[in-house]
Amino acid sequence: MFCFTITSKYILYQIEELEGKVKDMQMLKFGRLVDLDKLETVSVNRTVEELKEKLRQEELWSTRVVAKWDVCITCLYRVLVYRRIVLDVTVYSLLH
């Protein structure tokens, strides 16, 4: 029990010492203390926003492709209807 108490006190001392070093380094580098938890949250939000933008671009591209295919399908449908009309007229004129 005695060794555990000394070890845990020593570890707590080291943690406090390292936290002090981190604060000093932040003050030297940034001129203020930085909340690392908030910084991590902002990084995650940035990634989410980038993915949302990528998804928006993909949806826009997909919409354009579908619109082009709609035009092609409409044109082909008109050609088929025209051919059907021509075929019907031809068959009718041959039969009568």
H helix runs in 2-96, sequence order: 2-30, 36-95
Tell me the C-alpha distance between 52 and 19, whole Å: 36
Residue 28 lies in a domain: yes
CA–CA distances in Å: residue 27 to residues 23, 34, 36, 78: 6, 9, 13, 73
The pTM of the full predicted model, rounded to 2 decimals, is 0.48
Residue 17 lies in a domain: yes
Domain region containing 19: 1-33
Residue 22 lies in a domain: yes
Could you count the other beta carbons within 10 Å of the beta carbon of residue 26?
15
Residue 42 lies in a domain: no
Q: How many domains does the chain have?
A: 1
Residue 78 lies in a domain: no
Tell me the C-alpha distance between 8 and 28, whole Å: 30
pLDDT for residue 77: 95
pLDDT band at 65 (very low <50, low <70, confident <90, very high): very high
